[in-house]
Amino acid sequence: MLYFTRWKALGIILTALIVCLFAVPNFFPEARVKTWPAWAQRRLVLGLDLQGGSSLQLEVDSNYVKKEKLDQIRDDVRRVLREAKIVYTGLVTKGDAVEVRVKDADVQTTLAKLRDLAQPIGGLMGSSGQRDIEVADAGGGLIRLSIPEPAMIDRLRKTIEQSIQIVEKRVNELGTVEPIIQRQGNDRILVQVPGLQDPTHLKELLGKTAKMEFRMVDPSVPLDQAQQGGLPPDTEFLPAATPPPPGYVVKKQVLVAGGDLTDAQATFDQRTNEPVVSFKFNTSGARKFAQATQENVGLPFAIILDNKVISAPVIREPITGGQGQISGSFTVQSANDLAILLRAGALPAPLTVVEERTVGPGLGQDSIEKGELAAYVGSIMVVVFMLLTYRLFGVFANIAVCINVAMIFGLLSLLSATLTLPGIAGIVLTVGIAVDSNVLIYERIREELRGGRSPISAIDAGFKRALATILDSNITTFIAAAVLFMIGTGPVRGFAVTLGIGIITTVFTAFTMTRLIVAWWVQWKRPKTVPI
Amino acid sequence: MTTTQLVLISLGVLIAVLTVVSVLGLLPSLRIVPDDTHFDFTQFRRISFPISATLSIIAIVLFFTHGLNFGIDFRGGTLMEVRAKSGTADLAQMRTTLGSLGLGEVQLQQFGGAADVLLRVAEQPGGDKAQQEAVDKVRAALGDSVEYRRVEVVGPRVSGELLGWGMAGLMLAIIAILVYLWFRFEWQFALGAMIANVHDIVLTIGFMSISQVDFDLTSIAALLTILGYSLNDTVVIYDRIREMLRRYKKMPMPQLLNESINSTLSRSIITHLTVTLALLALLLFGGHAIHSFTAVMMFGVVLVGTYTSIFIAAPILIYLGVGEHREDAREEAAPAKKNKA
């Protein structure tokens, strides 16, 4: 236990030294570190609770996604049955399914036709063999089409992936520093923006679907009649974004959609000096828009965002250049926001904020100071206590603890782990528990001495017996830390990380550094008594 | 130079002096626990078991009658920490302003300095959107008169999930540790450790119920840490018991347990003193953000953890039948001992 080959000793010291060195970038200003080679740039990341910032959790409206899919199925069923000239009645969306009734004689052909609608989940590469629509014969000529659970999950996953791209674009437009945007679970997105104090504006931007449509207004229907529900089948009533008037009757057919926009900018109207949003279409959008405006000169068309009419200008002349501008009693801010939303594109489904955690920079700074103070005081008290209890061996223990803490910071930097306030608490606790490994060893050595062994044999036996115990007792704590890492988020996770890493370094130092130090001392002194 | 820096520097100097003195071998030895203790810990089980049982029942009754003070992590709603820019927060005025928003009861609580106010808005009916509207209303009502130091809004769906995850995590940890101990020791040890574990958690929950500290995700973290450390202690004693079982085939169980506990007593106490020192520093200087976290930990690790390992986890092995068949096991154990030597 007390004999180390030269190479082994060297290996231990080098390992400890290299791990400690990874902590070095944390002591230099960030700008300076940026000029270093890439492998040396890794450093601790301060959690939002320490540096201040805002963390939002957004949820995709899964009911909306399901409804969209069911609507699409319903339209497909109508088309297929019409093409096949099958007479049907009662095509409705009912709960989680689309139902249609056909004559008994047609049931088999209808089932066959409708089953062709189903696609394999995950495209052609999908190997599950499952399909995205389940077509069932409910008896009595009733056919029910539903979406199986895996298909729904697949669809949500795709929706989330698309949404993340849009959210990224929108957040980046705010010009914030290093935002984090990631998927959480099946239907959530986590957005973390360091330094953001008031997320109200961000929430506004993310809370809009930004589905943009250009449609024709139907001026032939009076508004009061429209509000009572007496509408021609191909039109609908949509409220105005800024009444009066309360709303417009618009055609359901979409002339051009927001997906055809290539650019949008907030500018000022040259004549009225009001804030407006100018936009550009891509080629196909420009062609569609040109054709629509040519056919409808003199009639009003509606610019619709998220089912609200922003404005409804009259087409004075055909617009063929693929460019235009939207004016609709904007402020500079709202014009800017609309431009951002149009540039970033529409979300595939609405997002709801389900969790918000914001920490102001003042509290963050306070937490850092308090955490640091607690860490210093805690460590110093432990160090003094060890000196008073074990004297020379206390010095050994303190050297080991210092190396231990340096290694924790090294590993945390290497992993670019997030340091949170509970994380600092975890480090302080690790100091408390790290000395425990030394206590176990020393107490065992004392026991062996009392048992009548010679100093060297007692030290040897003490290490041998104590190390097994150290391993056992630390693994249980490590299991707790691992579970905490799995279930925790944010600050709590930071605690789990420091605790877990602390346990690893503690076991490492107990097995190597402490032993090495004591072994050297024994070699050097050849002690007749052990001052422990 | 601030006072803090002065204190830290003087403590540093103290360490340097102590280190030099220790290396020179001039420091007198500090014996916290005498070398040869012979306390009859196992006998004490006739008192400790009924006490623990009573306390556990009280804790459970408290949990059901008093309940836990669920924080917004698990209950949903809004929590805000604001600091009045004027230097002193006018609680009465804030109460009137916020009371008129129609958000139900808004709890205001002064903490720390005169300017700091903790503000709680209960979960609003109407799902996730309603919570967002509530926080927007509060922000609008308080406006620029305060600095928003912390804002947390948790919707009903998330709070339900967090609670579920927290509880599942606690269960998972207990089971994982149980399985590990089962592999390393015999099943009786695993069972004994688990009983001790559940005892720790029940008592700590009772403490949280009495003290009404916020029960949130950090509390779950505290519970898990308590669990880890209490086990750490239990495992150290169990390790020794196992070793003694191999060495002394004929020693009666109560005596064997006593010897094991007594021989690890010094370690138990010294380690708990160091952990207590670390926790004390966090409790006194760590700020209110981790105050309840460390308070719970202090109770669990320091008071309950040590007590459980010594007075519950070890003596319970008698009832679980550990060491009853040692005479039969002699042949199996003998080669194992030879390997060790």
Q: Judge if B57 and B107 occupy the same domain.
A: no
Q: Is the per-residue pLDDT at B335 higher than 70?
A: no
Chain B from 135 to 154: CB within 8 A of any A CB: 135-136, 139, 147-154
Q: Among the three residues B124, B154, B184, which one is the final residue of a domain in this structure?
A: B154
CB B219 within 8 A of CB B300: no
CB B193 within 8 A of CB B231: yes
pTM recorded for the entire structure: 0.80
Q: What is the pLDDT of residue A126?
A: 52
Q: Judge if B55 and B107 occupy the same domain.
A: no
Q: Provide mean pLDDT across the span A123-152.
A: 76
DSSP-derived secondary structure for B218-270: HHHHHHHHHHHHHHHHHHHHHHHHHHHHHH-SSS-HHHHHHHHHHHHHHHHHH
- Residue A100 within any structural domain of the chain: yes
Number of domains into which chain B is organized: 2
Q: Judge if B137 and B164 occupy the same domain.
A: no
What amino acid occupies position A439?
A: V
Q: Is the per-residue pLDDT at A160 higher than 50?
A: yes
Q: Is the per-residue pLDDT at B262 higher than 60?
A: yes
- Residue B230 within any structural domain of the chain: yes
Q: HSE-up of B259 (CA within 13 Å, CB side)?
A: 15
Q: Judge if A73 and A111 occupy the same domain.
A: yes
- Residue B26 within any structural domain of the chain: no
Q: Judge if B122 and B174 occupy the same domain.
A: no
Q: What is the pLDDT of residue B59?
A: 93
Q: Provide mean pLDDT across the span A311-331.
A: 79
How far is the C-alpha of B157 from the C-alpha of B172, rounded, in Å?
Answer: 22
Q: Judge if A220 and A264 occupy the same domain.
A: yes
Q: Judge if B308 and B205 occupy the same domain.
A: yes
CATH of the domain at B113: 3.30.70.3400
In the three-class reduction of DSSP (H, G, I as helix; E, B as strand; rest coil), residue B77 is classed as strand
Q: Among the three residues A126, A154, A182, which one is the final residue of a domain in this structure?
A: A154
Quick one: tokens of A182?
Answer: 């990631």
Average pLDDT value for chain A: 85
Q: Judge if B192 and B306 occupy the same domain.
A: yes
Q: Judge if B281 and B177 occupy the same domain.
A: yes
- Residue A161 within any structural domain of the chain: no
Q: Judge if A409 and A514 occupy the same domain.
A: yes
> pLDDT for A44-93, tens place per residue?
888 888 888 999 999 998 888 888 888 888 888 888 888 888 888 888 88
Chain A from 389 to 418: CB within 8 A of any B CB: 389, 391-392, 394-395, 398
Q: Judge if A312 and A226 occupy the same domain.
A: yes
Q: What is the pLDDT of residue B288?
A: 80
Q: What is the pLDDT of residue B330?
A: 44
Q: Judge if A44 and A73 occupy the same domain.
A: no
> pLDDT for B3-39, tens place per residue?
778 878 888 888 888 888 877 777 777 777 787 788 8
CATH of the domain at A477: 1.20.1640.10
Q: Among the three residues B154, B169, B201, which one is the final residue of a domain in this structure?
A: B154
Angle at A496 between CA A427 and CA A192, to 5 degrees: 105
What amino acid occupies position B108?
A: L
> pLDDT for A209-268, tens place per residue?
888 888 888 777 776 666 666 677 777 888 787 777 777 888 887 888 877 888 888 888
Question: Any idea what DSSP says for residue B102?
Answer: S
**What's the distance, Cα to Cα, between the start and end of chain B in Å?**
59
Q: Which domain holds residue B118?
A: 77-154
- Residue B341 within any structural domain of the chain: no
Tell me if B287 and A475 make a contact (CB, 8 A cut-off). Answer: no
- Residue B20 within any structural domain of the chain: no
How far is the C-alpha of A471 from the C-alpha of A19, rounded, in Å?
Answer: 21
Q: Judge if B90 and B180 occupy the same domain.
A: no
- Residue A413 within any structural domain of the chain: yes
- Residue A347 within any structural domain of the chain: no
Q: Is the per-residue pLDDT at B333 higher than 50?
A: no
Q: Give the residue, B269 or A492, on which the prediction is more confident.
A: B269
Q: Among the three residues A317, A350, A377, which one is the final residue of a domain in this structure?
A: A317
Q: Judge if A367 and A512 occupy the same domain.
A: yes
Residues 6+ apart with CB under 8 A from B144: B85
Q: Judge if A251 and A312 occupy the same domain.
A: yes
Q: Judge if A72 and A221 occupy the same domain.
A: no
Radius of gyration for chain A, computed over Cα atoms and rounded to the nearest angstrom: 34
CB of B248 less than 8 A from some CB of A? no
CATH of the domain at A230: 3.30.1360.200
- Residue B141 within any structural domain of the chain: yes
Chain B from 180 to 219: CB within 8 A of any A CB: 180-181, 184, 217-218
How far is the C-alpha of A386 from the C-alpha of A394, rounded, in Å?
Answer: 5
CB B181 within 8 A of CB B190: yes
How far is the C-alpha of A284 from the C-alpha of A329, rounded, in Å?
Answer: 29
Give residue B33's region: left, alpha or beta (phi > 0; psi -120 to 50): beta
B334 — pLDDT class (breaks 50, 70, 90): very low
> pLDDT for B107-143, tens place per residue?
888 877 788 898 999 888 888 888 888 888 888 888 8
Q: Judge if A404 and A367 occupy the same domain.
A: yes
How far is the C-alpha of B97 from the C-alpha of A163, rounded, in Å?
Answer: 38
CB of A377 less than 8 A from some CB of B? yes
Q: Judge if B259 and B150 occupy the same domain.
A: no
CB of A119 less than 8 A from some CB of B? no
Q: Which of A102-116, B54-68, B272-286 has the lowest mean pLDDT?
A: A102-116
CB contacts, 8 Å: A366 with chain B: 287
Q: Judge if A489 and A388 occupy the same domain.
A: yes
Q: Judge if B264 and B293 occupy the same domain.
A: yes
- What is the percentage of chain B residues whose pLDDT exceeds 70? 94
Tell me if B221 and A354 make a contact (CB, 8 A cut-off). Answer: no
How far is the C-alpha of B295 from the C-alpha of B170, rounded, in Å?
Answer: 19
Q: Among the three residues A107, A131, A154, which one is the final residue of a domain in this structure?
A: A154
> pLDDT for A269-306, tens place per residue?
887 888 888 888 888 888 888 888 888 878 888 888 88
> pLDDT for A178-198, tens place per residue?
888 988 888 899 999 988 888
- Residue A404 within any structural domain of the chain: yes
> pLDDT for B163-222, tens place per residue?
888 888 888 888 888 888 888 888 899 999 989 988 999 999 999 999 888 888 888 888
Q: Judge if A384 and A247 occupy the same domain.
A: no
Q: Judge if B208 and B59 occupy the same domain.
A: yes
Angle at B167 between CA B164 and CA B170, to 5 degrees: 145
- Residue A514 within any structural domain of the chain: yes
Q: What is the pLDDT of residue B332?
A: 43
CB of A420 less than 8 A from some CB of B? no
Q: Give the residue, A98 or A329, on which the prediction is more confident.
A: A98
How far is the C-alpha of B247 from the C-alpha of A47, rounded, in Å?
Answer: 51
Q: Judge if A403 and A492 occupy the same domain.
A: yes
- Spatial CA neighbour of B196 closest among B229, B165, B169: B229
- Residue A350 within any structural domain of the chain: no
CB contacts, 8 Å: B278 with chain A: 378-379, 381-382, 428-429, 431-432
- Residue A284 within any structural domain of the chain: yes
- Spatial CA neighbour of A97 closest among A120, A67, A56, A55: A67
- Residue B337 within any structural domain of the chain: no
Report how far apart, in Å, the C-alpha atoms of A267 and of each of A68, A343, B164, B334 are.
Answer: 35, 14, 50, 90
CB A136 within 8 A of CB A144: yes
Q: Judge if B87 and B194 occupy the same domain.
A: no
Q: Among the three residues B94, B125, B154, which one is the final residue of a domain in this structure?
A: B154
How far is the C-alpha of A424 from the C-alpha of A464, rounded, in Å?
Answer: 32
Tell me if A436 and B275 make a contact (CB, 8 A cut-off). Answer: yes
CB of A241 less than 8 A from some CB of B? no
Give the residue from chain B lying closest to A385, CA to CA: B274
- Residue B173 within any structural domain of the chain: yes
- What is the percentage of chain B residues whose pLDDT exceeds 90? 16
CATH of the domain at A131: 3.30.1240
CATH of the domain at B173: 1.20.1640.10
CB B197 within 8 A of CB B227: yes
CB of B33 less than 8 A from some CB of A? no
> pLDDT for A374-401, tens place per residue?
888 888 889 989 888 888 898 999 999 9
Q: What is the pLDDT of residue B241?
A: 92
Number of domains into which chain A is organized: 3
Q: Provide mean pLDDT across the span B283-298.
A: 86
Quick one: tokens of B121?
Answer: 């808005």
Q: Is the per-residue pLDDT at A117 higher than 70?
A: yes
- Sign, Cα dihedral of B31, B35, B36, B42: positive
Q: Is the per-residue pLDDT at A151 higher than 60?
A: yes
B327 — pLDDT class (breaks 50, 70, 90): low
Quick one: tokens of B157?
Answer: 């769906």
Tell me if A450 and B36 make a contact (CB, 8 A cut-off). Answer: yes
> pLDDT for A450-502, tens place per residue?
888 999 899 999 999 999 889 888 888 888 889 888 887 777 888 889 989 99
- Residue B121 within any structural domain of the chain: yes
Q: Is the per-residue pLDDT at A370 higher than 60?
A: yes
Residues 6+ apart with CB under 8 A from A403: A16, A20, A509, A513
Q: Which domain holds residue A217?
A: 212-317
